[in-house]
Structure 1
């Protein structure tokens, strides 16, 4: 008999969407077996209900569909729980108090208790929901909302409370993860079959929930999610728990509807406030403004005060850090405030500043001196110096290891390539060479002993050591683009000795070439001998 009742309830949920008030009254009046027969025969006064049942019957036999769903659940490892079972959660029966209320649409009318529940997971359903709280919120949540939901669920699970949510993205998923990370129980109430969890991106999360908690649904395995089913599902979340906490909710949010269902059922409604500039907290703030029964909560202590045991789960009052003078009486504090920050003052001056008589001032000063707030000096009383907290000496930084290589000396001035100096130059130059060519070297070792440059670079003018003119920065001329030219006319006569490279200097920093002098006329070329 119990198996037939079980199959009849499954078939009724397949024929008509869960939450239908007419079907619920038919089951209460005639039982599930007779109610199913009446729906199959069309013996229903409501024409819309009769048409909906006929459309479903045209796609398959209700009894065969129910048996196939039951077999599929067994292969999946799920089970069906009906009101006749001991595992049935009794709080969901309170949904009957919502029946008969005026409603504008079908969602608000379909609030009847479920006829059966599909469960996937090892814990017993009634024991798991006996001490539970719902944590719901927006799908498009912010980092703030996810942090609050995760922390709240974690701390609730640590205190052996079951966290119930809808398994969606955002706040729901954060609440489930927080409870799982704490090693507690969590329940996901779905709007589809327990074998087709939605959204698919949370498949791994649903597997974790099935291993450590419960997946619950009113729809048989294989049912796909539809938009209106999420709103119908919310009534089960509100009814099965002791209270509902909304972490984030936009202006139009299903989480707000869940909280309104909890208010109608007499459950504890709670809301976490958010930034006033956040669109994801508009719904929360509107609930706090419009519904006086909604309680503002900011942590697990506030939540437990609402849903916990009366007198034992009271949230502590927030207090700031205690200061040494917090324990002083009013007159002592007044006298202490009258003591100057620098220097000292006589008892008469302090009494006048504090607005007390001299005897009271003397009595309070003695008390303040014994407590270490003031010290007595030759001219009166002064503030006691604050004790200095010993600082931890810093560890000296490790000395830098000296490099093994010698200190690099500035590179010797780069000389022009040998082919840039024609052999017809003679005599020392009488003035500085124009910037169009490299200055021939006058001192130093022969070019044969100098280390050849590793790469071709423009020639750099070098200031003679005896010159006292400070170095000036000038743009060096480029010699790589011009062909060799004849020497100016001022260099007359055959060369008397070979040109030698300048001796490398050892200045403290590289010196730059002096600014080239501007001549009024270009020197004439040397006429060949």
Structure 2
């Protein structure tokens, strides 16, 4: 029997259909992240919770009479078949816990786990979530923040990682665009129905994400975002991914909620540092003073969240010609002053070696073009000044 067309209630369908309709019904009635509602479903099952809400007579434990009345009022107008029909028309599917496409890591949220997810886009949510990283940050980001989010996301996408963010202005949008621009995979987790992109200014971007990736949300079709829904959405981003990177965040940034949720869930938490004088980096720096790890590019992110052996390259400054000299020869070279000459005896004393050793090394340095002999004195050549001092003259 088709659960979208049957006249019976969700509790009178085929058990599988009834279970699906019950969860769809509850996404319309219970707010995302409601641990009380999640506990009801865990302890009593979705069908029993639906029945009690429809009857509305006796409240389930853990809520006041006023709140129970509000839930029952929502239940009275909830129509799961209509929601499924609207979703199907918009190319949206409902993914329930325990099904083949459900990402098992969301179960780490306990009773705050989503009752189900509405998904728009072709790829498997479960498979994509297995190798995903969240890139989040300030909406009113700086050019630096947008640049870092874009390059980080592009680098992650090029390495085969899915970039997850919230579809918002600022860092979120830059991260999505970076992944898409690199021809990679990205997923947007929204705080509203996935059939109505928000913010409106990102309609084109979110539609493009749906075509090339995934748009995910807990709320049924047509539902609108609220401040609390944005905050609660962030726990899904944190739980869905292997780690969260915060690019720019002020002290009260919602992206810090994502990072702290990731920490509670045992996920990796990373931060991209900014200027110490920037208020938009203050929240990131606070994270870095705690358990978050400083990262500067995609390779460093992958080293943390990836598999064994996925190491970032060793970071070193430029190799100077003098680095190739034997250490005692470098000591003799360093003994020569920036201006003027010194005798071999004085060079030996400064380099803490013998006179014969100093003379031998000075002739070696002359052959390499680093020093010149002027009578009994030795001085640095212009080549040595550039190599040793970096062209900046005396230090």
Normalised by the shorter chain, which TM-score bucket? 0.7 to 0.9
CA gap of 1:297–1:131, structure 2 versus 1, over 3 A, is same
Say whether the 8 Å CA contact 1:249–1:282 is kept in structure 2: yes
Corresponding residue for residue 298 of structure 1: 296
CA gap of 1:364–1:155, structure 2 versus 1, over 3 A, is same
2:383 to 368, 374, 386: 386
TM-score normalised according to structure 1 size: 0.66
Corresponding residue for residue 263 of structure 2: 263
Corresponding residue for residue 61 of structure 2: 45
Comparing 138-147 and 329-338, the one that deviates more: 329-338
1:46 Cα deviation after fit: 2.9
Give, in whole Å, the separation in 1 of the partners of 2:307 and 2:219.
Answer: 34
Corresponding residue for residue 351 of structure 1: 348
Corresponding residue for residue 3 of structure 1: 17
Corresponding residue for residue 448 of structure 1: none
Does the residue aligned with 1:280 lie in a helix, a strand or coil? helix
Corresponding residue for residue 276 of structure 2: 276
Residues 106-121 of structure 1: pairs in structure 2 closer than 5 A: 112-121=112-121
1:319 Cα deviation after fit: 1.9
1:67 to 58, 81, 86: 81
Give, in whole Å, the separation in 2 of the partners of 1:264 and 1:54.
Answer: 33
Corresponding residue for residue 310 of structure 2: 313
Does the residue aligned with 1:386 lie in a helix, a strand or coil? helix
Stretches of structure 2 that go unaligned for 5 or more consecutive residues are 1-14, 385-395
Corresponding residue for residue 389 of structure 2: none
Give, in whole Å, the separation in 1 of the partners of 2:70 and 2:337.
Answer: 87
1:382 Cα deviation after fit: 4.8
Does the residue aligned with 1:356 lie in a helix, a strand or coil? coil
Stretches of structure 1 that go unaligned for 5 or more consecutive residues are 100-111, 388-529
1:343 Cα deviation after fit: 6.9
1:143 Cα deviation after fit: 1.0
Greater relative contact order structure (CA < 8 Å, 6+ sep): 2
Comparing 21-30 and 230-239, the one that deviates more: 21-30
Give, in whole Å, the separation in 2 of the partners of 1:18 and 1:352.
Answer: 76
Say whether the 8 Å CA contact 2:134–2:164 is kept in structure 1: yes
Say whether the 8 Å CA contact 1:191–1:225 is kept in structure 2: yes
Say whether the 8 Å CA contact 1:40–1:53 is kept in structure 2: no
CA gap of 1:367–1:39, structure 2 versus 1, over 3 A, is same
Residues 99-178 of structure 1: pairs in structure 2 closer than 5 A: 112-178=112-178
1:345 Cα deviation after fit: 5.0
Corresponding residue for residue 75 of structure 2: 57
Question: Is 1:17–2:35 an aligned residue pair?
Answer: no
Give, in whole Å, the separation in 2 of the partners of 1:366 and 1:143.
Answer: 53
1:324 Cα deviation after fit: 1.2
1:304 Cα deviation after fit: 1.3
Residues 502-517 of structure 1: pairs in structure 2 closer than 5 A: none
CA gap of 1:340–1:142, structure 2 versus 1, over 3 A, is closer
- Number of aligned residues: 367
Corresponding residue for residue 364 of structure 1: 361
Give, in whole Å, the separation in 1 of the partners of 2:62 and 2:380.
Answer: 88
1:182 Cα deviation after fit: 0.5
1:372 Cα deviation after fit: 4.2
Give, in whole Å, the separation in 2 of the partners of 1:348 and 1:149.
Answer: 58
TM-score normalised according to structure 2 size: 0.87
Instruction: Please say which structure displays the higher CA radius of gyration.
Output: 1
Does the residue aligned with 1:244 lie in a helix, a strand or coil? strand
Does the residue aligned with 2:249 lie in a helix, a strand or coil? coil
Corresponding residue for residue 246 of structure 1: 246
CA gap of 1:132–1:336, structure 2 versus 1, over 3 A, is same
Give, in whole Å, the separation in 1 of the partners of 2:146 and 2:327.
Answer: 46
Comparing 153-162 and 16-25, the one that deviates more: 16-25
1:39 Cα deviation after fit: 2.5
